[in-house]
A and B are shown apart, each in its own frame.
Chain A
Amino acid sequence: MKAQEITPGVYEIKILNASDEELMEISESMGLALTLEEMHKLRDFFATLGREPTDIEIHAIAQGWSEHCSYKSSKRVLRKYIFGIPSPDTLIVMQDDAGVVEFNDKYAYVFKIESHNHPSAVEPYGGAATGVGGIIRDVLNMGAKPIALVDPLFFGPPNYPYESLNPGVKHPRYLLNQVVAGIRDYGNRVGIPTVAGMTYFHEGFVNNVLVNAGCLGIVQKNKIVRSRVTKPGLKLVMVGGRTGRDGIHGVNFASKILSEKSEEEKQAVQLGNPILKEPLIHVVLEANDAGIIQGMKDLGGGGLGSVVGEMCHAGGVGVEVHLDRVLLKEKGMAPWEIWVSESQERMLLALEKKDIPRLQEICEKWDVEMSVIGETKDGHDLEIYWHEKRILHLPLEFVTAGVEYDRPYKIVKKKRMQEIPVEPNYREILLKLLNSFNIGSKEWIIRQYDHEVQGRTVVKPLQGVIGLESHGDAVVLKPLSDSWKGIGITTVANPRISKIDPYAGALYTIDEAVRNLVAVGARPHSFSDCLNFGNPEKEEIMGQFVESCRGLGDGARALGIPYVSGNVSFYNEAFGVNIPPTRVLMAVGIVDDIRTAVTMDFKEEGNPVYLVGETREEMGGSEYYTLIGAKSTTVPQVSLEKLKKRSGEILSAMRRGLVKSCHDVSHGGLAVTLAEMVIGSNMGAEVDLAPIGFMRPDFKLFSESPTRWVCEVDSSRADEFEKIVNATRIGVVDGTTLRVRDGTRWLFNIHVNILREKWRDALREYMG
């Protein structure tokens, strides 16, 4: 690489006459992760300017063009399927850092979910913590107070043999421990409750752990801040943490596949500091209350580089930045390092000059540092100065607009088949399912997160008799002290079904999100999607992505639920293995009155128990078939029309107070649903499967057919319930055992304590 120092710390890179080989060497040695085609585009651009670029110019462009920042592989597909689902309540959708949706006359809720996968694979504790920190800022910079965190996590099985691990790959147990600790230590310290999430185990995540983090906030509608500035002459102020060498090239790193050398890229992992974040949240909210913020964006992936560019480009103004005014953690940083550093806990605010003293006063109260680093200008150019010398001068359009690809894709259709196993021992299968990693109790994880702080969590993640609780389907928050209106939150993903059929799996994921919200009495209102996939340069992986988006689009459009924010994580590939397609939905619902919210634990002996929805022989991707090793590609098929109808019926019955408990039927089927309701309430039930129809009992018990719930109904009002909800009466709450028969044939009779112990032991044996 030929380079010449033009001012201390800044080099001019000779690319105009570079050969292809030299261009790739530049991409490699500067850590740009650009392709030859992209390097050509870069060279051609500077040829038209008639000059060589500086190192900071090349870094700025490479960052803007990274998969992480530009969505170059996904954008066209997202536009076709995901964007633009109409909804009367959306305020800001897919434009700023988080989606904004109307909550009531005065308030809006703000939320987003995103991935933090690659950093968590090499440095799980710091990576997970930073994932939480980053998503909090995305919500905060809309001017909203963060009130809830969610964390869907995906690991290899905890009992995975050590000797089978690839070089450099950390064991799932270690990763689980560290990731949970990272989320715990960050989320608890910053005082935002971690209320929901999921933990899923599958061999496909051994090399590539997935750590997704979501945040929801609440804001007065007239206090919403945009992630853009439209006015020249505003001061740009950095507030919060100092800038250091941590997190350099984080976005470029996130756009590569992992290998045994990934450990060496630890410097790409940022370091979070919750005790800087906590006062920073106060500073931002107080400044917003004072009405002095004209535009705001958080410094996450891409650092200053992507934030300054995107903020000004979106608002149609030019900008001038003086990098020597940025407060640094360490001496001797080169300007390009300052520009791309992803150091945490930093926000960029745009203010009128006259308001700077007010911000200063607020920062002093909270001991938070700030510095004025630049100013917006007329025009469309980005100019960077270093000790008064201009070291970058580029059109914002070229830096931020990035590139887009129509990646070729191939849709692999699997032939439909289904093995029929010999009839099992029902008692044994149910206890094994309860004891399996994906179904067993996650109490060890859930209780390490403070889910009560802020006092808004009115339906908890663990539901039932105190000390004996089971998993709830969703949580409900009461965001405002003077309103009964609530917000339901759940997170969902179905990698196993999606691996067989990404389209059907996407619809199933939507179905489960809706089921979970309806189970607590929440009307589904909006989605945020985090799309985790393998390497998009492989046609079948791109095919999974396209089919998934088509499914997500079709499902949400039919239900009238918009996607208001989201994130794509590609390149979850290592050692030639790609993760199963994992679309995570963070789904938000509205509970019109939290006093009508419902939990999943049985309430009273003598109450009838109903099954809502149709059970079919579709065992593909089910926990039962996985457990016994039977093969099936016959995955559950969703009828969106039925989903809409049944949801409406159940919500209507709940508003009338007819439903005493409700739980959706998902992993492990009806048997596991009933067992969990028994576990949480410490009350038994007697159930007869005969009314479900003519089918083998193991299919009735363990099928994971969609659009199904179990409802316990007030015994004095069963007739009223039957008139409203299309449901089948299958049993009654009674005793201290779960007793199930199919007509005259008894299948099992298990005491609640045995069910609970098996369920609790699933992870306890591994995690303590």
Chain B
Amino acid sequence: MLIFSGKNGEMLSENIWGEKMKAAILQMEGTNCEEESYLAFKHFGIDVEYVHINLLKKGKKSLEDYEVLFIPGGFSAGDYVRAGSIFAARLKAAAWKSLVKFVEDENKRVIGVCNGFQVLIELGFLPGTNGISSVPQAALATNNSNRFECRWVYVRNERKTHFTSLAPDVLSLPVAHAEGRFITTPKIMDEIVANKQIVLRYISPDGSEPEYPWDPNGSMAHIAGIVNSYGNILGLMPHPERAFYWYHHPDWSRKKRGVGDGYYIFKSLIESMH
């Protein structure tokens, strides 16, 4: 695959879709990874906008106008109750019908990163083993270490999806969360596995079964990211937007890269809509 990398380490921007494709980055008080995410979409020439939840509520912006919905990380409303639950409740109140229409359109894509993943679970979109669930089917519980941790991990790309088709087998990405331990019931876990919904799993650097800190939170089946059963919604705890450029990686002075590993998630997503 061609990597658009200049000889001095700059990443030349790629314009795959012109200004035709529109992406919305959702905002509310406490979302805070929107800027990195914005730059990642901009890199591909996507017409990307910040959309505050109040603008949806007041009808000043409409989800119908976008092809991609990105729910960024952060601490929406402070996450003083279960992470993501207030954001989800506010989204439901503001734009439930258009949201459902959006995710049921298989030509559209939704990504939730970190707090965004928590929101997608609270909304019942993920795991979504049989479509949208009226109650959450899983939870992202407090890390086994019982504290917020910011560190880089390795994840294995389990299968080619809309979001990972161009990604290498192993990616290095940062996590930064206190609640990221994926848990669910044995029945739903069976469905997730049967539907092949697991996309990213934590692994140790030598490829073996990961222990803490390589699995930073103690997730069931070491799950770092999953898609819904239709494959158009991705939720993941690691932050691809913070690993977009080679210089985002902590070991760039030890290992040469043309692009950051998170780049491949965005690239796959955009190519999948071609």
Contacts and interface: CB of A to CB of B under 8 A. Distances in A.
Given A278-B32, A595-B8, A458 B248 contact: yes
B89 interface: no
A367 B35 contact: no
Contacts of A455: 33, 35-36, 39, 241-242, 244, 248
Interface string A544-570: 000000000000000000000000000
Contacts of B241: 455
Interface in B10-52: 29-33, 35-36, 39, 52
A282 B123 CA distance: 26
Given A278-B30, A447-B149, A599-B253, A454 B176 contact: no
B254 interface: yes
A121 to B, nearest CB: 24
Interface string B51-82: 01011000000000000000001110111000
Contacts of B244: 455
Interface residues of B, number: 43
Q: How large is the interface on A (under 10, 10 to 19, 20 to 34, 35 or more residues)?
A: 35 or more
A478 interface: yes
Contact of A447 (B54, B74, B150, B253): B150
> Is chain A's binding surface mostly helix, strand, loop or mixed?
loop
A452 B242 contact: yes
B205 interface: yes
Interface string A176-189: 00000000100011
Nearest to A147: B35
B152 A466 contact: yes
Interface in A336-369: 364-367
A506 interface: no
A750 interface: no
A367 B8 CA distance: 44
Contact of B151 (A184, A447, A481, A598): A447
Which of A191, A274, A276, A597 has the largest count of B CB atoms less than 10 A from its CB? Answer: A191
A466 B251 contact: yes
Contacts of B78: 189, 274-275
A275 B254 contact: no
Interface in A489-513: none
Nearest to A482: B10
Contacts of A189: 30, 32, 74-75, 78-79
Contact of B29 (A366, A467, A594, A595): A366
A472 to B, nearest CB: 10
A454 B35 contact: yes
A450 to B, nearest CB: 5
A190 B32 contact: yes
Contacts of B77: 275
A289 to B, nearest CB: 13
Contacts of A598: 253
Interface string B233-271: 000000101101001101111100000000000000000
A272 to B, nearest CB: 11
B8 A465 contact: no
Interface in B172-225: 172, 174, 176, 205, 213-214
Interface in A155-197: 184, 188-191
A594 B30 contact: no
A96 interface: no
A763 to B, nearest CB: 14
Contacts of A450: 148, 150, 176
Given A188-B75, A453-B33, A466 B247 contact: no
B32 A275 contact: no
A347 B213 CA distance: 41
Nearest to A281: B32
Nearest to A364: B54
Nearest to A460: B250
Contacts of A460: 250
Contacts of A466: 152, 154, 172, 205, 250-251
B147 interface: yes
Interface in A364-391: 364-367
Contacts of B55: 365
A463 B250 contact: yes
B274 to A, nearest CB: 25
A449 interface: yes
A598 B253 CA distance: 7
B52 A191 contact: no
A4 interface: no
A279 interface: yes
Given A455-B244, A467-B213, A603-B254, A278 B29 contact: yes
A452 B29 contact: no
Contacts of A595: 8-9, 247
Contacts of B75: 188-189, 191, 274-275
A726 interface: no
A452 B205 CA distance: 21
Nearest to A486: B247
B253 A603 contact: yes
B3 to A, nearest CB: 17
Contacts of A454: 33, 35-36
A279 B35 CA distance: 14
Contact of A601 (B73, B214, B254): B254
A464 B79 CA distance: 32
A466 B151 CA distance: 8
B213 A465 contact: no
Contacts of A599: 253
A283 to B, nearest CB: 11
A297 interface: no
A594 B247 contact: yes
A452 B176 CA distance: 8
B249 to A, nearest CB: 9
A639 interface: no
Given A188-B176, A189-B30, A190-B32, 5 more contacts: A188-B148, A189-B74, A364-B54, A450-B150, A453-B36
12 contacts: A188-B176, A191-B75, A275-B78, A276-B29, A278-B29, A278-B30, A454-B35, A455-B241, A455-B248, A458-B252, A465-B251, A603-B254
The 9 closest A-B CB pairs, nearest first, are A191-B32, A455-B36, A275-B78, A189-B75, A279-B29, A450-B176, A458-B247, A466-B152, A447-B149
